[in-house]
Amino acid sequence: MLARHSKEFEQALETTPRLGRSGTLNEIVGTSLIATLPGVQIAELVEIVRGTDAPLLAEVVGFTREHCVLSAYGETVGISPGATVRSIPGRRGFYCGSHLLGLALDAAGSPLAGIDESKPRAAIPEDAEWRNPNPPPPALAERCALKKQTLTGVFSIDHFTPIACGQRIGLFAEPGIGKTSLLNQINRNAKADVKVIALIGERTREVEEALREMRGPNTVLIASSSSESAASRARAAETAFSVAEHFRAQGRSVLLLVDSLSRLFRAYRELGLAGGETPVRRGYPASAFARLPGLLERAGNTERGSITAIFTLLLSDEIEQDPVVDEVKGLLDGHIILSKELAQRGLYPAIDITSSLSRLETSLLSDEQLLCLKEIRTFHAEFKDTERMIKLGAPIPANHEQLKAMHSEFERLLYREKEDVRDSWSELLALRNALIETQNTEVPNIGTATDPPNIGNTVLGFRS
Ligand SMILES: Nc1ncnc2c1ncn2[C@@H]1O[C@H](COP(=O)(O)OP(=O)(O)OP(=O)(O)O)[C@@H](O)[C@H]1O
Ligand SMILES: [Mg+2]
């Protein structure tokens, strides 16, 4: 007999008539499909038969005493009352393995229709494993401390909000400020064994662009665009985490890029409301807040490998009242804020170093590096204040021209693409020392561009 979830079982499942439970579709209410299908489980996939069209895939998202609530993965066109609904045994998971590298997948983990579906399925390699899309996060005992910096290749992130291997960080900005472009830049420059890119609820045009620009031999791209259902968008996030978890279990360092977490949260809201829940916080049902921590906790380090995760989030004008932003900031280990003012000045990536924060900064950088950053941050904030005051009519300080030149130099350092990190630290330190001289204080120099300070034994001065 074939072992359940073995490759042979999966292949047999593809080719033999399905023997799952079958029931009837009774009603469609908004985006919820109400069916009689006893014995199914939450998150199980079912198919709804529709005339001459291919069956429609749907997910079980809730149930009542008599009925189960389904959320379809596609358009409900062609569905008729009393349509047959069949459970698909064994179809909660999918195969993860090296055959996924370079591919684009749909929410259920199958090669994306019209893009990669023609690639032969026979190529499931020996190292492949059957993965459930929503397993529990790693237990506390399996987790390892986050101590080693992972480089993104973006100067302002690597210096002002350094990210640890296994860290989870949010990229917050108002619409159109450069979140997706920055993820793209990180994808191009970051060092990781495998990059998993999840596009959730993005415009179809952006998915097309990502398919052209973000794919590479060590990437796996999972897409569920804004035109797809809430169930599909939510499943896409779980599928992306499952792919990342597979490669982590293989001992790889994985970079997971999710664009966007806000749209995933909206999918959770739609699913909760469709399941009959009451909205509790600004239109969001309690389940939306309950689902997110379990998902985000799946990132991190284990003894074998790591998942470093970067999520984009949309800021609205009413930032204080946005429960999603507050909730996510509390769950993640840091946040990078993009500034509208910098984007308007054409300074990209428009990272605001004064409001961005990495909670692991102190364990990743040396004391000298932290001191250097603190002084440069202070200089930046004070310079901005002085400029504001001058505009309001305050007298111009004697050394203002000199400080202005230094601030321009500082902005030149911040807003550029790929850098050599060692040289960059030297440049930052040189800037800091020049600042100290200009401000004529008695704080001692901590190094120069040609004479880097003793900041550890590693090449970059980072603690390992
Ligand atoms: N690094 C960059 N260099 C030059 N232009 C940029 C850069 N980043 C962003 N832009 C400009 O900003 C525009 C919007 O960028 P992007 O789509 O990345 O923003 P977004 O925050 O992801 O938007 P949305 O919230 O709509 O998803 C781009 O079309 C481009 O004109
Ligand atoms: Mg975007």
Reference 112, options 204, 194, 13, 218; nearest CA is 204
- CB-ligand 1 contact for 346 (6 Å cutoff): no
pLDDT tens per residue across span 207-254:
888 888 888 899 999 999 888 888 889 999 999 999 999 999 999 999
Cα of 435 vs its chain's centroid, Å: 37
* Predicted local distance difference test score (pLDDT) of residue 312: 95
Q: Which amino acid is at 226?
A: S
Give 202 Cα–ligand 1 centroid separation in angstroms.
Answer: 13
Q: Which of 107, 45, 106, 53 is nearest to 77 (CA)?
A: 53
How big is the chain, counted in residues? 464
- Ligand 1 centre to CA of 320 (Å) is 24
Per CATH, the number for 94-361 is 3.40.50.12240
pLDDT on residue 296: 93
| Alpha-carbon gap, residue 126 to 97, rounded angstroms | 8
Task: Confirm if 312 and 179 have CB atoms less than 8 A apart.
Answer: yes
Check: pTM over 0.95? Answer yes or no.
Answer: no
Decide: 186 and 209 in contact? Cβ < 8 Å: no
Rounded Cα distance, 427 and 448, in Å = 8
SS3 33: strand
| CB-CB contact of 67 with 275 (8 Å) | no
Using a 6 Å cutoff on CB, does residue 151 contact ligand 1? no
Distance 346 CA to ligand 1 centre (A): 10
Ligand nearest to the CA of 178: 1
* Separation of alpha carbons 339 and 51, rounded Å: 52
Nearest atom, ligand 1, residue 260 CA = 27
- Ligand 1 within 6 A of 201 CB? no
Closest C-alpha to 310, from 111, 218, 172: 172
Of 154, 181, 204, 208, the residue with max ligand 1 atoms within 8 A of its CB, to mutate for a pocket test, comes to 181
Q: How far is CA 27 from CA 21, 31, 246, 274, in A?
A: 19, 11, 38, 13
Predicted confidence at residue 455, as pLDDT, reads 38
Tokens of 42: 């939450």
Judged by DSSP in three states, 325 sits in helix
152, 171, 177: residue to mutate for ligand 1 pocket, most atoms within 8 A of CB: 177
- Cα 454 from Cα 120, distance rounded (Å): 54
Q: Which amino acid is at 172?
A: F
Q: Three-class SS of residue 423?
A: helix
Instruction: Let me know: does 170 contact 259? Beta carbons within 8 Å.
Output: no
Residue 175 has phi, psi (to 5 degrees) of -60, 140
What is the sign of the dihedral through the CA atoms of 436, 440, 445 and 451? positive
User: Does residue 349 line the site of ligand 1, with CB under 6 A?
Assistant: yes
- Residue 150 contacts residue 165 (beta carbons within 8 Å): yes
**Is the CB of 291 inside a 6 Å radius of any atom of ligand 1?**
no
Q: What is the dihedral of CA 367, 369, 370, 371, to 10 degrees?
A: 80
- Report which of 328, 290, 55 is spatially closest to residue 168, judged by C-alpha positions: 328
| CA of 203 relative to ligand 2 center, distance in Å | 9
Q: Name the residue among 46, 59, 51 with its Cα closest to residue 78.
A: 51
Q: Is the CB of 177 under 6 A from ligand 1?
A: yes
Cβ 312 vs Cβ 258: under 8 Å: yes
Quick one: which ligand is closest to 185's CA?
Answer: 1
Ligand 2 centroid – CA 264 distance (Å): 13
Q: How far apart are CA 360 and CA 357, in angstroms?
A: 9
Using only C-alpha atoms, the chain has a radius of gyration, in whole angstroms, of: 25
In the chain, what are the domain boundaries? 7-87, 94-361, 367-439
Give distance in angstroms: CA of 180 to centre of ligand 2: 4
Please identify every stretch of the chain with a pLDDT value under 50, giving residue numbers as ranges. 1-5, 14-18, 122, 442-464
Spacing, Cα 205 to ligand 2 middle (Å): 11
Task: Round to whole Å and give the CA distance between 112 and 104.
Answer: 6
Nearest CA to ligand 1 atom 10: 178
pLDDT at 110: 82
Given this model, what pLDDT does residue 30 score? 74
Distance 429 CA to ligand 1 centre (A): 31
Nearest ligand, measured from the Cα of 314: 1
Residue 341 backbone phi and psi in degrees, to 5: -60, -45
3-state helix, strand, coil in the chain (%, to 5): 35, 20, 40
Which residues have C-beta within 8 Å of that of residue 310, sequence separation ≥ 6? 163, 168, 169, 170, 171, 183, 186, 255, 256, 257, 258
Q: Does ligand 1 have an atom closer than 6 angstroms to the CB of 98?
A: no
- Choices 3.30.200.20, 2.40.10.170, 3.30.2310.20, 3.90.1150.10: CATH for 7-87: 2.40.10.170
β-partners of residue 242 are: none
Indicate the SS3 state at residue 292. helix
Six-digit token string for 251: 């001992």
Q: Residue 181: CB within 6 Å of ligand 1?
A: yes
- Determine phi and psi for 124, rounding to 5 degrees: -75, 115
In tens, the pLDDT along 109-119 reads: 888 776 666 66
Please indicate whether residue 173, judged by its CB atom, sits closer than 6 Å to ligand 1: yes
Q: Cβ(175) to ligand 1 under 6 A? A: yes
Query: Is the CB of 133 within 6 Å of ligand 1?
Result: no
